[in-house]
Chains A and B, each alone.
Chain A
């Protein structure tokens, strides 16, 4: 079945550091890929997505590129802020980016801590 593997946390960085959170996946067909963010006490918010190979999703300074050859969707940000502290989840769906019966398959989440 489909699966998502992301780097274990917590990841602790200083403000303005460069961030990479690795994500690799296993899926049949051509999945759509997502990054979700969960701030303390809140629900899951879509951060960015990519629906086909070589697409780059971007939002709020975060970027991730859909790499079919390496089955990866690594999350990057050039300069992190304290407000970026949260849990980040990589996810996929085997359908198009919209809803469908199968729902999303999530990774375990990576807790990011940014220190001032």
Chain B
């Protein structure tokens, strides 16, 4: 069964550093997403991406965040200058007309 693959599974970074979280969506899916889950809280929508541009973004997705599809397979989330409150599980997802498929997530810890 096709999967959404995320790397790394865990990342520890120092406050102020840039991080890039990577995702390989399912190849024939057209929409891609990033979600965030702060420990003990709900899963929150960050951004959706379609046809090589952002379709929708939440108020969480401010100027420190960016997304990119640098090639035909990868979909990345960049956080430019990490803050302690960026510590969370980040989920990538992709979708087609049948529904959404989520990756296993990247646990980001900012110290």
Contact = CB atoms under 8 A, between A and B. Distances in A.
A99 B49 CA distance: 11
Given A43-B105, A98-B99, A106 B43 contact: yes
Q: Is chain B's binding surface mostly helix, strand, loop or mixed?
A: strand
A98 B43 contact: no
Interface residues of A, number: 24
Q: Is chain A's binding surface mostly helix, strand, loop or mixed?
A: loop
Contacts of B42: 89, 106-109
Interface in A51-71: none
Interface stretch (B14-22, B26-34, B70-78): B26-34
11 contacts: A36-B102, A44-B93, A49-B99, A89-B43, A98-B96, A99-B30, A101-B31, A102-B56, A103-B35, A108-B42, A109-B42
